[in-house]
Amino acid sequence: MVPGVTSTLLLAGPDRTAVAKRSPLSITEVRWAIAATALFLLGFGAKLAGAPPWAWWALLLACYVAGGWEPALSGINALRERTLDVDLLMIVAAIGAASIGQVVDGGLLIVIFATSGALEAVLTQRTADSVRGLLDLAPQRACLLTDEGEREVDAETLRIGDEILVRPGERIGADGTVADGHSEADEASITGEPLPVPKRPGNDVFAGSLNGTGALRVRVTRDPQDSVIARIVAMVEQASATKAKTQLFIEKIEQRYSVAMVAVTLALFTVPLLFGAALEPTLLRAMTFMIVASPCALVLATMPPLLAAIANAGKRGVLVKSAVAMEQLGTVDAVALDKTGTLTEGTPHVVTGRDDVLSLAAAAEQFSEHPIGRAIVAAARERGLSIPSAADFQATPGVGVTARVSGQVVVVRRYDSSDHTAVEVVVDDRQAGVIELADRVRPSSEAAVGELAVLTGRSPVLLTGDNHAVAQRVAADVGITDVRAGLLPQDKVRAVREMSGKVLFVGDGVNDAPALATAHAGIALGRKGSDLTVDTADAVVVGDDLTVVPAVVALARRARRVVIANLAIAGAFIVVLSIWDLVGTLPLPLGVAGHEGSTVLVALNGMRLLSGRWWKR
């Protein structure tokens, strides 16, 4: 174990401060572990070759320094804070072994300890690197309109009543109301709505949503600290703090065990001396007990399987952020799924429309950057339709486009439809037809839903902010029967809490972040997922293939089974060797071999999960 690695990175939970910046910790630990191993091999080889004692003693003591200085320093710092570091106990045991002439056994302790710690640091750092580079959710700056003109300010300094200018393509800096201008805003990350929403004077806008092709003057109606984004972040922090209590309990148990082990060791040393026992055998027994009773094997019983599973998942496009997260994924027995951008692709596609109408609409839309326009042009090309040239193109934000096609004036504009997004195509003031569009279900969604149902024994639940008709249609396509639609972020949180069992929530939008943090475990879609959602989730799917979700859950369950088996092996070694030392005479070399052998055994057993054969989809 490397001091600080587990406590900083693996107990961080959804608080990702620990992975915000690159750290040279893993590189440093690897170098010191290599140095300690090389010195040990040189010293042990020199002893076997018959070199003078001072030569191999010097090499082995140098091994102690290379592999033990950092754990010792960390342990001393822990003592200053009135906590007992197990790593320090191992250093003390190694020094105790050297003090009675067992310098090789102590050196072996140091080498295995340093090597396992370096491995843990490397795997943990690799996981941290996988989730680095996320951007802030909301814009940091805003263009404030004053009597003197425009002025760029920090978004957090805005106050109710201020007016800001939002140019095309910029993110809106505050919750407010449109005072002037026409545009569209991409609010998918806030509301779950997959298509840009038209914005005119009087319409509300949200901080962090993306402005479309028009310029907007927005009057701030909420203090930045009370915006929708700020409230979502607050809910995430609250749920994250709740999760951390479990880790505090684990730390307390570890502290109590360490204190008890030290107390027994001291008793084994002092009590026999009071009754006239010889110093050297008494010290040898006490040091042997400290070694065999050390919980290092128990610690390594847990970490290698989880970290190996993290590395395995990372190679296949799932970034699990910590060993705690992997463990939580292995215990889920219920699943809730978002719709837009999770089960669906989050972009519109044409579902109905005559070829002649689609051809005219594509001609008019071919210069448009609007998602609907791009979808219409793409559909025409997929059908192999001819797209005539167009002139006098004009786009009206939030309304539609107008162009002259083959001498006719073609208008493509919004059209009311209950189940789909629709546009009306008008040619020379007469309706030519209607084109309906809808968000497309991901090809992998149905298979993923089926596999999750098999894993958990019950069908996943669909939680969405979209309307009920659309939600039911998507649910029917993927095989979900329990549908809860029209949900705001707080409603999703409530729904997750009301579900029985340990819930896994899978989502991608900002509106999913509170539910991700509240659930027992959360997985975010990273390619199109919002920054806050990716930051909040316990794991991130890099690609668009949802079948990796049941695959990583299955891998986490395998890792959990390996952890349980390792704990049984490590516990059995500790109990047997400790009893042997207490009631009999356990030779120190045999105690070291048994203790370190069990440590290596559980570590290698855990590392099996690095193999690709454990990843099944």
| Domains of the chain listed by start with CATH number | 5-133+233-329+553-614 (no CATH), 141-226 (2.70.150.10), 334-345+442-552 (3.40.50.1000), 347-440 (3.40.1110.10)
Query: Which runs of E-coded beta strand occur in 193-232?
Result: 197-199, 204-205, 210-211, 216-220
Lowest average pLDDT, out of 3-17, 193-207, 363-377, goes to 3-17
Question: pLDDT band at residue 26, thresholds of 50, 70 and 90?
Answer: low
In the set 85, 338, 538, 581, the catalytic residue is 338
Across 388-407, average pLDDT? 87
Question: pLDDT band at residue 6, thresholds of 50, 70 and 90?
Answer: very low
Per the prediction, the chain carries an average pLDDT of 80
Taking 90 as the threshold, does the pLDDT of residue 463 lie above it?
yes
Q: What is the pLDDT of residue 482?
A: 93
Q: Parallel, antiparallel, or unpaired: how do β-strands 163-166 and 216-220 relate?
A: antiparallel
Q: What is the pLDDT of residue 362?
A: 94
For residues 563 and 558, give the distance between their C-alpha atoms in angstroms, rounded to a whole number: 9
Taking 80 as the threshold, does the pLDDT of residue 600 lie above it?
no
For residues 206 and 510, give the distance between their C-alpha atoms in angstroms, rounded to a whole number: 12
Q: What is the pLDDT of residue 262?
A: 82
Our answer to whether residue 338 is catalytic in this structure is: yes
Q: Which residues pair with 523 in a beta bridge?
A: 506, 539
Taking 50 as the threshold, does the pLDDT of residue 399 lie above it?
yes
Across 194-221, average pLDDT? 86
Q: What is the pLDDT of residue 193?
A: 59
pLDDT digits (tens, 9 = 90+) for 288-309: 887 788 776 776 677 778 777 8
SS3 of residue 220 by DSSP: strand
Question: pLDDT band at residue 525, thresholds of 50, 70 and 90?
Answer: confident
Q: What is the pLDDT of residue 162?
A: 93
- Which comes out higher in pLDDT, residue 570 or 124? 570
Q: What is the pLDDT of residue 12?
A: 33
Q: Are 392 and 411 in contact (CB under 8 A)?
A: no
- Which comes out higher in pLDDT, residue 470 or 118? 470
Q: What is the pLDDT of residue 385?
A: 92
Across 410-417, average pLDDT? 82
Q: What is the pLDDT of residue 288?
A: 80
Lowest average pLDDT, out of 49-53, 221-225, 258-262, 498-502, goes to 258-262
pLDDT digits (tens, 9 = 90+) for 225-271: 777 666 655 544 554 454 434 445 545 666 777 778 888 888 988 99
Answer whether 0.75 is exceeded by the pTM.
no
Question: pLDDT band at residue 188, thresholds of 50, 70 and 90?
Answer: low
Q: Are 323 and 310 in contact (CB under 8 A)?
A: yes
- Exposure of 174 by Cβ count < 10 A (0-12 exposed, 13-18 middle, 19+ buried)? buried
Q: Name the percent of the chain lying above pLDDT 90.
A: 26
Measure CA 267 to chain center: 45
For residues 395 and 146, give the distance between their C-alpha atoms in angstroms, rounded to a whole number: 30
For residues 537 and 524, give the distance between their C-alpha atoms in angstroms, rounded to a whole number: 6
